[in-house]
Structure 1
Amino acid sequence: MDKDNNSQLVELLNRARGGDEAARDELFDKCRNYLAIVARVQVESWLRVKVDASDLVQQTMLDAYRGFGDFRGNSEGEWLTWLKQILKHNATDFVRRYRGTEKRQQRREVPMQVGPTNLSEGFTREPSSGGESPSELVMQREREIQLADCITKLAPDHQEVIILRSLQRLPFDEVAERMDRTRPAVQMLWARAVSKLKDLYGEF
Structure 2
Amino acid sequence: MPASTAPEPGEVPDIDLVKRCQAGDTRAFDVLVSRYKGRIYAMTYHMIQNETEAWDLSQEAFIKAWRALPSFKMDSAFYTWLYRITHNVVYDWLRKKKIQGDGEFDDSRTEHRIAAGAEAVPHGDQAPDTAMKNAELGKRIQQAIAKLSPEHQQIILLREVEGLAYEEIAAAIPCSLGTVMSRLFYARKKLQELLKDCYENAA
TM (norm. structure 2) is 0.49
| Structure with larger Rg | 2
